[in-house]
């Protein structure tokens, strides 16, 4: 029997951050001028990572998503992916900004990545530069094109929707996704660590996204296949399927089966959690497999997290989770450290 947490949720999905470094500076994730990087000696080796993932699997996890920071910056990522694939996971997926897919995509596919999610917030070059801090739209589009040619089982595109920044591109992004055979998911702008410039007036709520899509595409119907996945899926009047992740205005904590492991082995049972569990220290202190599994199961059994629902209750007083000062003293709060 899988261990259930205090709200009756099993643990099934792990976001595995393999680096806190990134080659972009998205304003909703890394808007600051400077960052405190994880020390090299703290980064888990591939063997350590695989050992921890195997302990999560013993506790019920059967899906792993490799993320970061930008995961393709981690040297020899395909070697790690191959080692993870050897564990027999039900699903091994990747979230990336796509820039390095042309060089690494085929090795990653051969190593065992089946599904790829690529972030794409705009199709306009100037806007991309403003939103991502670098002039790399062409590189991202080339990455998407390359992923298509490689024939991954599934390609998804993630768009963070921000009012007055890119919310006039919903239709254009749907058309683009259709043209490349990818499923697009609109993500509400979240007040997570890293998003120090978050303001609730910039959030475009799910109902508004759907109303706009319905107007433009002649209707929108829910697709009733919601599992434990965070995205609700909809069929537009044209037949195109899109997802909406409404973590900010209609959170899905009661079905949340996912946790996050940082590149230095800190484990967070909630995206918003201020404290994590230091699995690296336990591992390096010589804990055996049973002790590591026992620790993971004990923590999961005590889990009560439902932070996005708690934050919803803040209403008008809701602000960014953390300011730049707090992030400097607790850099593990950063989204680019714990993985999106």
CA distance 8 to 2: 10
CB of 169 to ligand SF4, least distance (A): 17
Judged by CB under 6 A, does residue 251 bind ligand SF4?
Answer: yes
Residue number with CB closer to ligand SAM (53 or 190)? 190
Judged by CB under 6 A, does residue 155 bind ligand SAM?
Answer: no
- Taking residue 162's Cβ as centre, other Cβ atoms within 10 Å add up to 22
What does the per-residue mask of binding to ligand SF4 show for 115-154, with x meaning CB under 6 A?
----x-----------------------------------
Judged by CB under 6 A, does residue 327 bind ligand SAM?
Answer: no
Judged by CB under 6 A, does residue 337 bind ligand SF4?
Answer: no
42-101 residues in contact with ligand SF4 (CB under 6 A) are 68-70, 97
Rounded to 10 deg, the angle between the 137-150 and 170-180 helix axes is: 30
DSSP 162-199: BTTTTGGGHHHHHHHHHHHT-EEEEEE----TT-TT--
96 binds, among ligand SF4, ligand SAM, none (CB under 5 to 8 A by kind): ligand SAM
Q: Using CB under 6 A, pick the residue from 22, 139, 256, 292 that binds ligand SAM.
A: 22
DSSP state of 331: G
CA distance 277 to 261: 9
CA distance 300 to 1: 14
Q: Closest CB to ligand SAM belongs to which residue?
A: 340
Q: Angle at Cα 145 formed by Cα 144 and Cα 148, nearest 5°? A: 90
156-195 residues in contact with ligand SF4 (CB under 6 A) are none
60 touches 2 (CB < 8 A)? yes
Q: Footprint of ligand SF4 on this chain (CB under 6 A)?
A: 22, 24-26, 29-30, 68-70, 97, 119, 251-253, 256, 270-272, 305-308, 336
């Amino acid at each position: 029997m899988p261990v259930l947490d205090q709200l009756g949720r099993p643990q099934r999905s792990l976001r595995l951050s393999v680096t806190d470094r990134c080659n972009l500076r998205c304003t909703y994730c890394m808007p600051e001028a400077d960052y405190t990087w994880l020390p090299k000696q703290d980064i888990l080796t591939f063997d350590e990572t695989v050992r921890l993932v195997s302990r999560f699997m013993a506790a019920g996890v059967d899906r792993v998503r490799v993320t970061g920071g930008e995961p393709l910056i981690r040297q020899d990522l395909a070697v790690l992916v191959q080692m993870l694939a050897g564990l027999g996971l039900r699903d091994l997926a990747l979230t990336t900004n796509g820039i390095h897919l042309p060089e690494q995509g085929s090795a990653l596919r051969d190593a065992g990545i089946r599904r790829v999610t690529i972030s794409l917030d705009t199709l306009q070059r100037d806007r991309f530069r403003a939103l991502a801090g670098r002039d790399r739209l062409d590189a991202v589009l080339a990455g998407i094109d390359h992923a298509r040619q490689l024939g991954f089982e599934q390609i998804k595109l993630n768009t963070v929707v921000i009012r007055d920044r890119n919310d006039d591109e919903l239709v254009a992004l749907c058309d683009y996704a259709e043209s490349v055979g990818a499923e697009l998911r609109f993500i509400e702008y979240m007040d997570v660590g890293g998003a120090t410039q978050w303001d609730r007036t910039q959030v475009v709520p799910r109902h508004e996204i759907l109303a706009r899509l319905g107007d433009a595409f002649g209707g929108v119907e829910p697709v009733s296949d919601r599992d434990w996945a965070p995205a609700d899926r909809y069929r537009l009047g044209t037949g195109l399927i899109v997802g909406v992740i409404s973590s900010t205005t209609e959170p899905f904590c009661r079905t949340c089966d996912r946790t996050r492991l940082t590149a230095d082995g800190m484990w967070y049972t909630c995206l918003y959690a201020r404290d994590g569990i230091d699995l690296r220290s336990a591992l390096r202190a010589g804990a055996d497999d049973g002790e590591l599994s026992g620790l993971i199961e004990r923590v999961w059994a005590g889990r009560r997290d439902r932070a996005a629902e708690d934050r919803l209750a803040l209403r008008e007083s809701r602000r960014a989770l953390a300011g730049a000062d707090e992030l400097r003293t607790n850099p593990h709060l950063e989204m680019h450290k714990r993985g999106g």
